[in-house]
C-alpha cells in the first residue's frame, strides 16, 4: 500500500483531561470544539491555512469585542471524526503526518470543510487539498488495492465523497484495473489483503512462479468486490460491464456468483435486505448465453419465488435459464411455489423455460399436437405395418437433435416428480407434456411412467380427465416392456389398452411376416383384437354423443354389445398372452 508523508517536525500534541494541546512557548489563543474533544491551538498556523476558521474567528471577534473571555469555536457539522481534524491541524503546524488509502478520504473531506485550499495559502507551497489530490491521482488511483480500500472508506462519508468525486474516481480506477494481464503491472494489481487465505496463497504462487493461466489470474477481483456493500458493488459492476476494456462475460458471471454466495442467505435465513441483493444480482447478469451456469440461474429463481421479487425479474431468470435448459437437472427444476394455489412446484415457469429453449434452439420444430388434434382418439388411427416398423427403428436411431431429445427426457422425468403433487391439475400436466415436440420425444416410456404415477396419486379424477391425460401418450412409441406393463394397468382408459394391444398385434404381424409364424395364430390374434377395438371405438363414440343421443345410437350400441365378450378382462389377458407367445417364438 502506498503512502505519503507531509511535514518534518516531531509530534508535540498531548492530552490533559480530554483536552488536546500543542507544546509551545506561546500561549494558546484558539479553542476549537470537534465532537467531544476540545483543542487548544494557535491562531497563526491554523488561520493561515484554514479559510473557514479564519472567517469564524473574524465573525467571533466582532461579537466579543467587549468580552474578555475567549469563546470556543464549535465545528458542529465537521465531517468525520477528530482524528481527521487533528491530522489537518498537524499539517498546519508542520508536524509530520502519514497519509494512505485508509485515511485519505477522511482527511480530504476535513480539508475541504476547513477550506484548506490555495485561496488562503500564503507563499508558493501548496495547501493540503492540492497535495491530497496529487496523492490520489498519482498513487491511489494507480493501484487496485489502494483504490479498493479507498472506495470502502467512502461509505463512512458518502455525501462528501460523492460531492468531491472520490467515489466515482475509485470505481473508474477499479473498472480499468479488472482486465489486467499477468505481465501488465500484475504484482501491483494483485496486492490485496482482502482475499481468503486460500485465494491469497494461490495468488502468491502465481506471482512467485510467474505461471498460472490468464483465467485463473483474473478471477481474484470477484472475491475482492464481494466485500463491498450493495450500492457500491452494483455501481462498480455496472462500470466494469460498460468499460472500454473487453471483460469476459464468464468472469462477470463468476463475480456475481461469488457475491450472491456471500450476501444471499439460505431460504430459511433470508433477511429484509435479501430482496434488494437478489434484484441487483439479477439486473447485473450478462446477456450472453452460458456466461452464468444454469444451476446458478435456477437457484436464483428458487429464491425469487420464495422472496416474491418482481415478475419481470423472475421472467428474466426463466428466459436465461431456458436458453440452456439442456444443462439443468430435475432437482434444479423443482422450484417451490409460494402462492395460494396449493401446488408444491412452479410448473408455469418451467413451461416458460421449455418454450424459450425451443424457440432458441430450433424455432421451426412443430410442437406436440394441440388439444383439437387430440380430440380424436388415437385408438381410431389407421396404423399400418410400415408405420409400426418405422417407429420401431426410430427408437434406436432418431433424427431429433440431441439437445431436444435431452430436454424431452428431462421434462418427462420432471413430470414424474410433479405427478406426486395432489394439487397438480390435469391441465398443468398436459400443457407441459404437450410443449415438447413429437419429434424430440423418441420414446414414451418415461411419459407413461409419469402418467401412471399421476393416476395412482389422483385416483378420484373424472373419466374425461383420465382420457384427456392419456391422449398425450403415443402407444406406438412404447417399448415392448412398457407395453406389457401398460396393457395390464387397470388405471388406464379402455381405449389406451386397445391401442396398446393393436400396436402389439401389428408388431407381431411384422414379426410373423419375417419369421413365417403360422397363419392360424396370426389370424386368431387379429380376430381377438378386432373385437376389442370395435368395443373401444363404440365406447368413444357413445361418450361424444349429446345427452339425448342414446336413442339415435341404439343400433350401433346393440351391435357393439353383441360383439363385446362377457368377460373383457379375461379376453385382454388371453390376447396379451397370445401376443407374448408370438414374441417368444420370434
| Chain segment 43-59, per-residue pLDDT in tens | 999 999 999 999 999 88
200 pLDDT higher than 70: no
Cα separation, 287 vs 417, whole angstroms = 31
Higher model confidence: residue 267 or residue 163? 163
Higher model confidence: residue 451 or residue 178? 451
SS3 assignment, position 65: coil
pLDDT at 507: 77
pLDDT at 79: 95
Q: What is the fold, at CATH topology level, of the domain defined by 3-137?
A: Potassium Channel Kv1.1; Chain A (3.30.710)
Where in the chain are all domains bearing CATH 3.30.710.10? 3-137
Q: List alpha helices for 154-288, DSSP H.
A: 158-163, 166-178, 186-190, 197-209, 214-217, 220-225, 230-242, 249-263, 274-284
> Are 3 and 100 spatial neighbours (Cβ–Cβ below 8 Å)?
yes
79-93, 218-232, 450-464, 539-553, range with the lowest pLDDT: 539-553
Cα separation, 449 vs 415, whole angstroms = 9
Backbone angles phi, psi at 385, to 5 degrees: -65, -35
Residues 291-316 have a mean pLDDT of 93
Mean pLDDT computed over every residue of the chain: 80
Residues 248-255 have a mean pLDDT of 92
- Report the share of the chain in percent with pLDDT over 70: 70
Q: Which residues contact 506 (CB under 8 A, 6 or more apart)?
A: 383, 384, 385, 388
**Among the listed residues 148, 155, 163, 156, the one whose alpha carbon sits nearest the alpha carbon of residue 113:** 163
The vertex-204 CA angle with 202 and 210, nearest 5°, equals 100
Residue with cell 403415443: 474
| SS3 annotation, 367-412 | CCCCHHHHCCCHHHCCCCHHHHHHHHHHCCCCCCCHHHHHHHHHHH
Residues 312-337 have a mean pLDDT of 95
pLDDT at 289: 87
75 pLDDT higher than 90: yes
DSSP string, 249-303: HHHHHHHHHHHHHHHS--GGG--TTHHHHHHHHHHH--SSTTSS-HHHHHHHHHH
| Highest mean pLDDT of the ranges 117-121, 190-194, 407-411 | 407-411
How many other β-carbons are positioned within 10 Å of the β-carbon of residue 164?
21
**Among the listed residues 579, 433, 560, the one whose alpha carbon sits nearest the alpha carbon of residue 509:** 579
pLDDT range class, residue 509, cuts 50, 70, 90: confident
pLDDT at 514: 58
Q: Which residues contact 199 (CB under 8 A, 6 or more apart)?
A: 220, 223
Cross-strand partners of 288: none
Higher model confidence: residue 498 or residue 577? 498
| Highest mean pLDDT of the ranges 22-36, 210-224, 366-380 | 22-36
Cα separation, 333 vs 335, whole angstroms = 6
Amino acid at each position: 500500500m502506498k503512502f505519503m508523508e507531509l511535514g518534518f517536525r516531531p509530534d508535540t500534541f498531548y492530552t490533559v483531561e480530554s483536552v488536546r494541546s500543542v507544546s509551545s512557548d506561546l500561549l494558546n489563543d484558539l479553542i476549537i470544539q470537534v465532537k467531544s474533544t476540545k483543542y487548544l491551538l494557535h491562531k497563526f498556523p491554523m488561520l493561515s491555512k484554514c479559510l473557514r476558521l479564519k472567517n469564524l474567528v473574524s465573525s467571533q471577534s466582532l461579537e466579543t469585542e467587549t468580552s474578555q473571555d475567549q469563546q470556543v469555536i464549535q465545528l458542529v457539522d465537521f465531517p468525520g471524526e477528530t482524528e481527521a481534524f487533528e491530522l489537518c491541524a498537524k499539517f498546519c503546524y508542520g508536524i509530520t503526518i502519514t497519509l494512505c488509502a485508509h485515511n485519505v478520504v477522511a482527511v480530504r473531506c476535513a480539508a475541504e470543510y476547513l477550506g484548506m485550499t490555495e485561496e488562503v495559502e500564503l507563499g508558493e507551497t501548496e495547501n493540503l487539498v492540492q497535495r491530497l489530490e496529487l496523492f490520489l491521482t498519482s498513487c491511489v488511483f494507480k493501484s487496485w488495492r489502494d483504490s479498493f480500500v479507498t472506495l470502502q472508506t467512502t461509505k463512512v462519508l458518502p455525501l462528501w465523497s460523492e460531492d468531491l468525486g472520490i467515489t466515482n474516481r475509485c470505481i473508474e480506477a477499479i473498472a480499468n484495473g479488472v482486465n489486467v494481464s499477468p505481465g501488465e503491472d500484475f504484482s501491483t494489481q494483485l496486492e490485496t489483503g482482502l482475499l481468503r487465505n486460500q485465494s491469497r496463497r494461490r495468488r502468491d504462487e502465481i506471482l512467485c512462479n510467474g505461471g498460472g493461466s490468464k483465467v485463473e489470474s483474473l478471477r481474484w477481483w470477484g472475491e475482492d468486490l464481494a466485500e463491498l456493500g450493495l450500492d457500491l458493488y452494483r455501481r462498480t459492476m455496472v462500470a466494469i460491464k460498460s468499460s472500454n476494456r473487453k471483460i469476459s462475460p464468464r468472469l462477470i458471471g463468476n463475480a456475481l456468483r461469488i457475491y450472491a454466495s456471500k450476501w444471499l442467505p439460505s431460504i430459511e435465513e433470508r433477511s429484509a435486505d435479501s430482496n434488494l441483493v437478489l434484484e441487483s444480482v439479477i439486473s447485473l447478469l450478462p446477456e450472453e448465453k452460458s456466461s452464468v451456469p444454469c444451476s446458478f440461474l435456477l437457484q436464483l429463481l428458487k429464491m425469487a419465488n420464495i422472496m416474491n421479487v418482481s415478475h419481470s425479474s423472475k421472467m428474466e431468470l426463466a428466459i436465461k435459464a431456458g436458453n440452456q435448459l439442456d444443462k439443468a437437472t430435475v432437482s434444479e427444476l423443482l422450484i417451490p411455489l409460494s402462492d395460494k394455489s396449493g401446488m408444491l412446484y412452479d410448473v408455469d415457469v418451467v413451461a416458460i423455460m421449455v418454450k424459450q429453449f425451443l424457440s432458441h434452439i430450433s424455432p421451426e420444430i412443430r410442437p406436440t399436437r394441440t388439444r383439437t388434434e387430440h380430440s380424436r382418439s388415437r385408438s381410431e388411427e389407421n396404423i399400418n405395418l410400415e408405420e409400426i416398423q418405422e417407429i420401431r427403428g426410430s427408437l434406436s436411431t432418431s433424427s431429433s437433435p440431441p439437445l431436444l431429445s435431452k430436454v424431452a427426457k428431462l421434462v418427462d422425468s420432471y413430470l414424474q416428480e410433479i405427478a406426486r403433487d395432489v394439487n397438480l391439475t390435469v391441465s398443468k400436466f398436459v400443457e407441459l407434456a404437450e410443449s415438447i415436440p413429437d419429434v424430440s420425444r423418441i420414446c414414451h416410456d418415461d411419459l407413461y411412467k409419469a402418467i401412471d404415477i399421476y393416476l395412482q396419486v389422483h385416483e378420484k379424477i373424472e373419466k374425461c380427465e383420465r382420457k384427456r391425460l392419456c391422449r398425450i401418450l403415443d402407444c406406438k412409441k412404447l417399448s415392448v416392456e412398457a407395453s406389457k406393463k401398460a396393457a395390464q394397468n387397470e388405471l388406464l382408459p379402455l381405449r389406451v389398452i386397445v391401442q396398446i394391444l393393436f400396436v402389439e398385434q401389428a408388431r407381431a404381424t411384422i414379426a410373423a411376416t419375417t419369421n413365417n409364424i403360422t397363419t392360424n395364430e396370426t389370424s386368431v390374434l387379429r380376430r381377438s383384437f378386432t373385437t376389442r377395438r370395435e368395443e373401444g371405438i363404440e365406447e368413444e363414440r357413445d361418450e361424444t354423443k349429446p345427452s339425448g343421443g342414446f336413442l339415435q345410437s341404439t343400433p350401433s350400441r346393440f351391435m357393439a354389445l353383441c360383439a363385446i365378450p362377457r368377460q373383457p378382462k379375461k379376453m385382454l389377458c388371453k390376447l396379451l398372452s397370445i401376443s407374448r407367445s408370438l414374441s417368444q417364438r420370434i
